[in-house]
């Protein structure tokens, strides 16, 4: 009985992710805009800091940008890097702004294992702010991708 208990405990101990493995994958990457935690806290709202710097997720259907259908560009809420164009936005029904593609070069990708399985995570390539995740269940007639983005990570700049 002691042997079985020891094997179970060792298996659980070695299979659990350490806190270092759970860190946001952007933390180990260098970005053109780099600020301290205190500086980000001063510049971002509490929710923006939670989502963009701690890789959190806003509540579904809480962002007014989810149902925004105006023409323009979606930029990073932290550094205003252009990330997505309105012509690539679609209503996924998930409660988060969704796009079928990014503005090339302005979005960085990583891997997120926080839920016990791998997801493709998106970050602003300029400041490293967490944006959301990309899935392979988007519109088949375009890219087949669904970039599911936290609205609080974005600002919308209307077309002039």
Query: pLDDT tens across 65-76, in order?
Result: 999 999 999 999
User: Would you name the residues annotated as active-site residues?
Assistant: 148
Residue 58 per-residue DSSP state: P
Query: What CATH number does domain 59-158 carry, 3.90.1170.50, 2.30.22.10, 2.70.160.11, 2.170.150.20?
Result: 2.170.150.20
SS3 33: coil
Sign of CA pseudo-dihedral 102, 56, 15, 28: positive
Global pTM reads: 0.81
Q: What is the per-residue pLDDT across 110-137, written as a single tens digit (0 to 9) for each?
A: 988 877 778 899 999 999 999 999 999 9
């Amino acid at each position: 009985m002691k042997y079985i208990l020891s094997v179970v405990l060792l298996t659980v101990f070695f299979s659990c992710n350490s806190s270092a493995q759970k860190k946001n994958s952007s933390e180990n990457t260098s970005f053109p805009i780099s600020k301290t935690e205190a500086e980000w806290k001063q510049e971002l709202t509490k929710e923006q800091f939670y989502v963009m710097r701690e890789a959190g997720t806003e509540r579904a259907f809480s962002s007014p940008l989810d149902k925004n259908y105006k023409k323009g560009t979606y930029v990073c809420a932290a550094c205003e890097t252009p990330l997505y164009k309105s012509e690539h936005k679609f209503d996924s029904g998930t409660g988060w702004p969704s796009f079928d593609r990014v503005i090339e070069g302005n979005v960085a990708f990583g891997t997120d294992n926080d839920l016990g399985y791998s997801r493709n995570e998106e970050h602003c390539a300029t400041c490293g702010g967490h944006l959301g995740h990309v899935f392979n269940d988007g519109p088949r007639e375009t890219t087949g991708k669904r970039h599911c983005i936290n609205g609080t990570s974005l600002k919308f700049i209307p077309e002039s």
